[in-house]
Amino acid sequence: MNEKKKGEFKIVNHSVPRRDGRAKVTGKATYVSDVKLIGMAWAKVLRSPYPHANIVSIDTSRAAAQPGVFAVITGNDLEGINPYYGHAVKDHPLLAIGKVRYIGEPVAAVVAVDERTAFAALELIDVKYEELKAVLTPEDALANDAPLLHDRQFEAGALRGFEGEVTAGKKSNICQEHHLKWGDVDEAFKKAASVVEGEYYFPMTYAYAMEAYVAIADVNDNGVTVYSSAQHPFMVRHDLKAIFNLPVSQVRLIVPFVGGGYGSKSYTKIEPLAAACSWKIRRPVKLQLTIEEAMLTTRSDDAYTWMRTAVDTNGKIIARQARIYMNTGAYAENSPLVVEKSTNRCVGPYSIPNVQIDNYSFYTNTVPASSYRGFGCAQVTLPGESQIDELAAKIGKDSYEFRLMNAAKPGEEFFPKMRPFEGTLKEDLDIAAKAIGWKEPIAKGHGRSIACSTSDAGAYPLTSTAVRIHADGSVTILTGSTELGQGSHTVLPQIAAEELGVPFEKVHLMSSDTAITPYDRSTGASRTTTLMGSAMIDACREAIQQMVAMTADVLKVKVEQVEVVRGGVRVGEIQLDWSQVISKYYALPDGEVIGRAYIRKAGRFSQTPVFWETVATAVEISIDEETGKIDVDKLVTVGDVGLAINPALAEGQDIGAATMGLGTGLFEELVYEGPQLMNGSILEYRLPRFADLAKKIDLHLVENQDGVGPYGAKGGGEGSLNSMAANIANAVARATGARIRHAPLTPERVWRALKEQKAKSTL
Amino acid sequence: MTDVKQILNLKFTLNGKAVEVDCEAEETLAEVLRDRLNLTGTKISCEVQVCGACTVLVDNLPVSSCTYLAYEARGKNVVSIEGLAKSDGTLHPMQQAFIDEFAFQCGFCTPGMILAAKALLDENPKPSREEIIHFMDGNICRCTGYMPIVRAIQKVAGTEKSQK
Amino acid sequence: MMPLRRFTIDQPKSVKEAAEMLAHHGENGRLYAGGTELLLAMKHDLLRYEHLVDVKTVPDLNRISVGNGSLHIGATVTHRALEKSAEAREHCPVLVEMEHNVANVRVRATGTLGGNLCFAEPHSDPAALLLALEAHVHVQGKGGERTLPIDQLILGAYETALAPDELMTGIDVPLAAKNKRAAYLKFQIKERPTLGLALVMDADGGNIKSARAVVGSVSPKPARSDAVDKMLAGSRGEVEKRLADAAQALAEAADPVDDLEGSAEYKRHLIGVFLKRAFAKAMA
């Protein structure tokens, strides 16, 4: 994959303008909410007002009698299909069945001629509940007398992608636990020269895609077709297939442009409910959630982490131990996988000889948690990178130097049994330090921080793709990858254009339609460039091999005599471009060549992770100590990406992730008062805005072509988020001496910490 | 549903052309544009006047079309994202600048963002960075971190500074 | 989407007609101007009306003028029109500055100052400043007209003194005397202000003859007290020494509570911070 070097690429490694640019700036880009099908009906959802309750009765007759209402469905109307689905475990009913497990859970759906009619009928549904005691935190969930949210074991999800045993449904509220251990932490902590220990809290957050969940389902005699805002259409297809007892060939997922994913649109969400509605009335049904409903559909796990880290007399980290409790809400979704990943990501990009991490994810009567950008990394990087700074301060070392001292080296198997590290952390940190002006003097009330993270990224290597080279030399690539904004519609044609030696403008794509585009497991975990990109290269090369054979056939020479040149072949004096090869082969300017590739966990992808997503970041902040308000003055990101297929897009992902990360460090948190989500609206959930823009932003990419992906590429787009909360906490500590272990560092939290610190220092 | 129903016959100018549309009194401009006129470029997101994804220009001023009754557009001059490019396909300078500066990713906030940016420069052709931020602060983007949007606006205004 | 439930729109041609329509509809109807707050509440089913009376079709309610020692602002003047008004800027720059920072550019383009006051959202800027400026509002109903100071208009959260048939027709802001010094500062974390502090003083050289301090957004309605205002009068040096005590008294008057914006303790602290800063800004 690494034959070409930086500087030798014609199209790859260039910031070509986005392929979807015109469509998006003219309003022509189609999202699911823009799609209309003939005869389409609309669904609206009635949601549970109780966190935990038995459903005693539901009377839908008044609603169903309304003019324009086609049907009202509840959990009692699902005979004939399999209503439970779920990525890790099938614990999630598409509508509440017998019991509700969180405020906001769908209890009934009205399907009507238009949205207004469906909405008006909702209040005519009478539901009687018998309230049960609710559990709201991991502590509640652990209590001896805690009611069980789920009292039976479930069928494991078919595609769950993690190997550990599923612990859900085994007579406790533990959804999943995961343990990681090497060395002997107890011994190490006994011998340690210095130890830092603390409890940290990373909040529940909401990814807040501007496009809320939406699905249009059409269940008819041919099968099930669903238009969805899903990131992983093939996974949703699998869930729907199981729900409707259909072969995969009769289930079709179509994903047009997605208005933001960030992990929150991973896996199945409202597609089963939309499909059940369509199944009932035998017409297409659109289910469009509002943003507030979306905030009652998914959130990220929060994490209570107890962590300790130890160094020896030389300042080398010798041990890290942590116990984490994550709150995964009413249904597992893919939290079991998040638990596994967040466990791994406690280690950070450091060589630590003794590690023990014990991680537990609990069912609670709150909105279900699912994956979020960083996939469990942000939750544990707050304690992880905070403790690096705390430890450095304790032993009198500069926190940047301390990181350099302990960073894993390229080629080091710093995480036993996993792919050796391929991040050049020293280079990354050096760039970050220089860009932030680490050594420069800093004014009072200002603080700097530098941090880093690495994630076992790329999810699971299972993908396939096809490339169609047409007789006129233009190319259509068929990819199961979805376009969430990350640029798959630009990067994949860039790779194909580079490989086939054709102009970028001649390569187009068809994406994310499971009936047409070959199987791709998922779009997430920063895996598209590495895995789909690799498949794209393989498919192009396979097509080229076919065209070499075609050339030999047409020119009546041996295959060995055919030389591949840029954009075609040469045999002696004769040079043919692909169009000529194909036209001659078919004896008409018609026909095509289809190249294909399969990727599985073998060969160069036999080791996990597919790659290490490694990033260094730095911030400089100023604090208004009277109000506690923090302003970010400078932001630096360094993405260790191997090779950026499109540098502008890679940098765009980094600043986007960093901004989202600053949100978690400064203001984003879902607030529960008892069972009630108090700020499930943009009026009270604070997102980063223009006014928060740092005055100076420096985005860097480190490209050593050291990854397993195309031309040495790795992936990116999540890493810059992970260390931001710690950066804020560390910068505040460096500026004021006050150490805050609870994100986000809202003005009031900062003010209180400074107040407490002042009180302490006057004692 | 209540027994009240009022159908309005609205006449206004949309993207430079006269339009006439019948709608109910409680329909928003976003509903009329998207559902009655099949112009789906205007996006609906927060629905509470905060995020600006639904921004449409009415008599040159940005409004939240998700909460602006269609009734209010009567007799007025409405510009949606579909009205920016020329009929021959030439993009408006702001649209081109958004492409050149990579000022969008998922694109869902983009129509509203571009119209807000256009309204800004129509009112204040050479805004300072602070003025850009103050005006645009009402539009939210979750993908780009805002910096490339500011750059795109500065590019069109001719007030770029090398801010990297 | 959150569809609005069905309603009809009435188009009165005079204040009298509007009052009659409101009386006729009773609980089923409401006056409607920019709708920037009303329609949000209706989308969320917090309020339900089958009839909206569009006050914008009444002529002459959208003017800004100066006369009789006041800046007259018609009830349907938008935040933006006030923000851009040369007359308003000349006679009451602190008002213009406050309007420049209300909500966002789209709310300013369609929302009206009159509508804002009548909706009486606690987390809001204009009422606090107008109370400090001793503004009055003109109200008209079937029975006639009356004039109210702000603290007799706004009685609590989303609660005004307006009778069912009454509508506000305009706001009068007394013109600033030459020695008037004023500042409005706000602290905002989320989408609505967490705190707004308005300070208007009649100051001459180093001597503050009289002062009015109002804190908004930390209680159901803007808060002030005569006792606070007394503490803010005196020589500059004396007043500066009393600022902390005045802030405490103002916090007592406001009696903030714990909510999503912050704890009562934090808000009390912020009152002190922003009274100090407003004083410095006003005297600069």
Q: Is C270 on the interface with A (CB under 8 A)?
A: yes
Is B142 in Cβ contact with A262 (below 8 Å)? Answer: yes
Q: Which residues of C touch A686 (CB under 8 A)?
A: 189-191
Provide mean pLDDT across the span A494-523. Answer: 96
Min Cα distance B74 → chain A (Å) is 23
What is the pLDDT averaged over residues C233-252?
Answer: 97
Residue A162: pLDDT over 70: no
| Residue of C8, C35, C39 lying closest to B4 (CB–CB) | C8
Mean pLDDT for the stretch of residues A439-453: 97
Distance from CA of B88 to the nearest CA of C (A): 31
Cβ–Cβ gap C260/A678 under 8 Å: yes
| CA nearest to B44 within chain C | C1
Q: Which residues, including other chains, have CB under 8 Å from residue A319's CB and lie 6 or more apart?
A: A183, A185, A188, A189, A192, A308, A309, A310, A352, A353, A354, A355
Which of A14, A15, A690 should we substitute to test contact with B (largest number of B Cβ atoms within 10 Å)?
A690
pLDDT, mean of residues A344-366 = 96
> Cα–Cα–Cα angle for A262, A708, A357, nearest 5°?
60
Which of A641, A634, A633 is closest to A615 using CA atoms?
A: A641
The residue of chain C nearest to residue B59, with distances taken between CA atoms, is C109
- Partner-chain residue, chosen from C3, C192, C266, that has the shortest CB–CB distance to A115: C3
Locate the chain B residue with the closest alpha carbon to A116.
Answer: B1
Rg (CA), chain C: 19
Band (pLDDT 50/70/90 cuts) for residue A654 is: very high
Q: What is the dihedral of CA A70, A73, A79, A81, to 10 degrees?
A: 90
- Mean pLDDT, to the nearest integer, of A123-143? 95
pLDDT digits over B89-138, tens only? 999 999 999 999 999 999 999 999 999 999 999 999 999 999 999 999 99
Report which DSSP code applies to A572.
T
From A743's Cα to the closest Cα of chain C, the distance in A is 15
User: What's residue B1's pLDDT?
Assistant: 53
* Better-predicted residue by pLDDT, A585 or A164: A585
Q: Quick check: A573 pLDDT over 90?
A: yes
Q: Do A748 and C190 touch (CB under 8 A)?
A: no
Q: What is the rounded radius of gyration, in angstroms, for the C-alpha atoms of chain A?
A: 27
Q: List the single residue in C6, C35, C191 with the smallest CB-CB distance to B67.
A: C35
Question: Between C35, C40, C110, which is nearest B48 by CB?
Answer: C40
Torsion of CA B65, B69, B72, B78, to 10 degrees: 30
Tokens of A299: 């959130």
Q: Which of C77, C6, C121, B162 is nearest to A697 (CA)?
A: B162
State yes or no: pLDDT of A364 exceeds 90: yes
Which residues is B12 bridged to in the sheet? B19
> Cβ contact (<8 Å) for B47 and C1?
yes
Summarize the confidence of residues A703-731 as an average pLDDT. 95
CB contact under 8 A, A683 and B107: no
Whole-angstrom distance, CA of residue B32 vs CA of residue B39: 9
Rounded CA separation A210/A294 (Å): 10
**Cβ count within 10 A of residue C101:** 19
Q: How far apart are CA A699 and CA A50, in angstroms?
A: 46
- Chain A and chain B share a number of CB contacts under 8 A equal to 164
Q: What is the pLDDT of residue B3?
A: 77
pLDDT band for position A158 (cuts 50, 70, 90): low
Q: Which band of pLDDT confidence, cut at 50, 70 and 90, is reported for residue A163? A: low
- In this prediction, residue A760 carries a pLDDT of 86
List b or e across A217-226, with b for residues whose CB sees 16 or more CB atoms inside 10 angstroms. bbbeeebbbb
Q: Which residues pair with A449 in a beta bridge?
A: A619
Report the 3 state secondary structure along A463-507: EEEEEEEECCCCEEEEECCCCCCCCHHHHHHHHHHHHHCCCHHHE
Which pLDDT score is estimated for A88?
Answer: 83
List of chain B residues whose C-beta atoms are within 8 Å of the C-beta of residue A26: 41, 81-82, 84-85, 91, 95
How far is it, in rounded angstroms, from Cα B32 to Cα B58?
14
The residue type found at A229 is S
CB of C80 closer than 8 Å to CB of C112? no
The interface pTM score, or ipTM, of the predicted complex is 0.97
pLDDT of res. A3? 81
Q: Which residues of C fall within a CB distance of 8 Å from B2? A: 5-7, 50
Residue C130 to residue C150: CA distance in whole angstroms: 7
pLDDT at A738 over 60: yes
Phi, psi of A227 (to 5 degrees): -90, 130
CA distances from A432 to A3, A15, A393, A446 (A): 29, 22, 20, 18
| Interchain contact, A260 vs B146, CB within 8 Å | no
Q: Which of C187, C189, C263 sits opposite A686 (nearest CB)?
A: C189
Closest CA to A547 of A450, A612, A494, A473: A473
Asked if B99 and A33 come within 8 Å (Cβ–Cβ), the reply is no
Q: Nearest CB to C4: which of B6, B26, B52?
A: B26
Chain C neighbors of A288, CB-CB under 8 A: 1
* Rounded distance between C-alpha atoms, residue A223 and residue A103, angstroms: 33
For residue A381, the Cα-to-chain-centroid distance in whole angstroms is 16
For A253, the enclosing helix (H) or strand (E) is: strand A251-254
Residue of B nearest to C6 (CA): B26
pTM of the model: 0.97
Interface contact flag, A678 C273, Cβ < 8 Å: no
Give ∠ CA B42-B46-B51 in degrees, rounded to 5.
Answer: 75
A58-62, A371-375, C158-162: lowest mean pLDDT where? A371-375
Q: Check pLDDT > 70 for residue C216.
A: yes
Average pLDDT of the residues of chain A: 95
What is the pLDDT confidence band of residue A1, given thresholds at 50, 70 and 90? very low
Task: Enumerate the residues of chain C whose CB falls inside 8 A of the CB of residue A120.
Answer: 5
Give the neighbor-by-neighbor strand order of the sheet with A99-100: A99-100, A53-59, A126-131
**C-beta of residue A298 within 8 angstroms of C-beta of residue A120:** no
Asked if A747 and C1 come within 8 Å (Cβ–Cβ), the reply is no
The predicted pLDDT at position A637 comes to: 98
d(C-alpha C273, C-alpha C243), whole Å: 10
Contact partners of A by the rule of 3+ C-beta pairs under 8 A? Answer: B, C
Place of tokens 């339009």: B19
Question: What are A745's two structure tokens?
Answer: 């560092």
Q: Tokens 């190490």, residue? A: A188
Residue B5 and residue B26: Cα distance in Å, rounded?
A: 9
pLDDT of residue A467 exceeding 90:
yes
pLDDT (tens digit, 9 = 90+) per residue, A262-279? 999 999 999 999 999 999
Position A721 confidence tier, pLDDT thresholds 50, 70, 90: very high
Q: Which of A20, A26, A262 to mutate to test the interface with B (most CBs of B within 10 A)?
A: A26
pLDDT tens for residues B45-99? 999 999 999 999 999 999 999 999 999 999 999 999 999 999 999 999 999 999 9
Give the integer Cα–Cα distance in Å for A670 and A524.
Answer: 23
pLDDT of residue A164: 66
- Tally of helices (H runs) and strands (E runs) in chain C: 12, 14
Do the Cβ atoms of A29 and B107 come within 8 Å?
yes
Q: Which of C23, C72, C30, C64 is nearest to C47 (CA)?
A: C30
Q: Examine the pLDDT at A405 and tell me if it is beyond 50.
A: yes
Residues 6+ apart with CB under 8 A from A541: A499, A595
Considering only CB atoms, C106 lies closest to which of B31, B69, B138, namely B138
Inter-chain residue contact B62 with C191, CB threshold 8 Å: no
For chain B, the first-to-last Cα distance in angstroms comes to 56
- The confidence score (pLDDT) of residue B163 equals 45
Residue B82 with chain A: CB contacts under 8 Å: 26-27
Name the residue among A17, A21, A27 with its Cβ closest to that of B82: A27
Q: Are A631 and A473 in contact (CB under 8 A)?
A: no
**Chain B residue at shortest CA distance from A67:** B1
pLDDT confidence tier of residue A763, bands split at 50, 70 and 90? low
- Please choose, from the candidates B154, B163, B107, the residue with its C-alpha nearest in 3D space to the C-alpha of residue B135: B154
Determine the pLDDT at residue A524. Answer: 81
**Is the CB of residue B46 less than 8 Å from the CB of residue C19?**
no
Q: Which of B160, B54, B74, B27 is nearest to B114 (CA)?
A: B54
Hey, which chains touch C, using 3+ CB pairs under 8 Å? A, B
Does C256 reach chain A within 8 Å, measured CB to CB?
no
CA dihedral sign, ordered A69, A75, A76, A82: positive
What is the pLDDT at residue A243? 97
> How large is the average pLDDT for residues C95-111?
98
pLDDT tens figures, C114-151: 999 999 999 999 999 999 999 999 999 999 999 999 99
Does A2 score more than 70 pLDDT? no
Cα gap A733→A307, rounded to integer Å = 18
Chain C residues interacting with chain B (CB cutoff of 8 angstroms): 1-9, 35-36, 39-40, 43, 50-52, 54, 80, 100, 103-107, 109-110, 191
Cβ count within 10 A of residue B20: 8
H runs (alpha helix) in chain C: 15-25, 38-43, 79-84, 86-91, 93-100, 105-110, 113-119, 126-132, 150-153, 226-231, 236-254, 264-283
Lookup result for tokens 């860097």: A700
Among A260, A533, A27, which Cα is nearest to B105's?
A260
- The C-alpha atoms of residue C116 and residue C105 are separated, in whole angstroms, by 15
Q: What is the pLDDT of residue A396?
A: 97
Q: How many helices (H) and strands (E) does chain B have?
A: 5, 5
Per-residue pLDDT tens over the stretch C23-46 = 999 999 999 999 999 999 999 999
C residues 167..196 contacting A (CB < 8 A): 187, 189-192
Of B139, B137, B164, B135, the residue nearest B151 (C-alpha): B164
pLDDT of residue A159: 62
